[in-house]
Amino acid sequence: MIYTVPFITILVLLFIVLFIFSRTIDKRIWVAFIISMVLTPLVYFYVLYPLINIFSDYHHEKYFDADAWKSSPAFRYEMAYDLEQSNTITGKSKSEVSAILGEPEWFSWNDAIKANDSNFWNYSLGIKPGAFNKNQECFKITFKDNIAQSLEHYQLELKFNE
C-alpha cells in the first residue's frame, strides 16, 4: 500500500470523527480510542473507499500497448493519455496507424464532401467508470496526405433506448 498525504489526511480525519462518535457511546477515553482504532480501517475500506470510487471519475492509467488496445477496446481509456502524450501516432502513415491501432471503427462526417471522410479515423475508448458518467470517450485521428497530423480526444453522449 502506498501512503500518500491525502490518504493519511483522510484516515486521520476519519479517526477523529469516529473518536468523537465513540465518545458518545462510552465516556472512557481508552475505550473510545480502541473503538476508533478498530473502526477506522473498516469504515475506510468498506464504506469510504467504495464511495470515492463510485462518485469520482478517477481511473487507472496504463502505458500504451498495441495488443491490449486491440484485445480490450472497453479499457482503451486507460491508455489514452499515454497515447496522446507519447506522439506514437503523429507522423505515421495510414498503414502504420492501422498496424498499431487496428482498423478505424468509423470515419467522421465531412460537410465539404457531404460524406464520411477516410481522412478522419475514429476509435472508441470505452466508458470511464463512475456513477454519473454519461459520455463515451473517443479519439479522432486526422490525416493529411496519408500522414497522421493530429489526435483529438472527444466525448459522445450515450443515449439509451427507452
Q: Kindly list the domain boundaries of the chain, sorted by start residue.
A: 5-55, 66-157
Check residue 28 and give its pLDDT.
Answer: 92
Check residue 63 and give its pLDDT.
Answer: 87
Check residue 29 and give its pLDDT.
Answer: 92
Check residue 42 and give its pLDDT.
Answer: 93
Check residue 81 and give its pLDDT.
Answer: 86
Query: What distance in Å separates the CA atoms of residue 118 and residue 97, rounded to the nearest whole number?
Result: 13
Summary mean pLDDT of the chain: 86
Instruction: With 0.75 as the threshold, say if the pTM is over it.
Output: no
Check residue 162 and give its pLDDT.
Answer: 60
Q: Which residues of the chain have pLDDT under 70?
A: 1, 57-59, 162
Closest to 76 in 3D by CA, of 128, 29, 24, 22? 128
Cβ contacts of 91-94, under 8 Å, gap ≥ 24? 91/147, 91/148, 92/147, 92/148, 93/146, 93/147, 93/148, 94/121, 94/143, 94/146, 94/148
The dotted CATH code for 66-157 is 3.30.1450.10
Cell of 141: 485521428
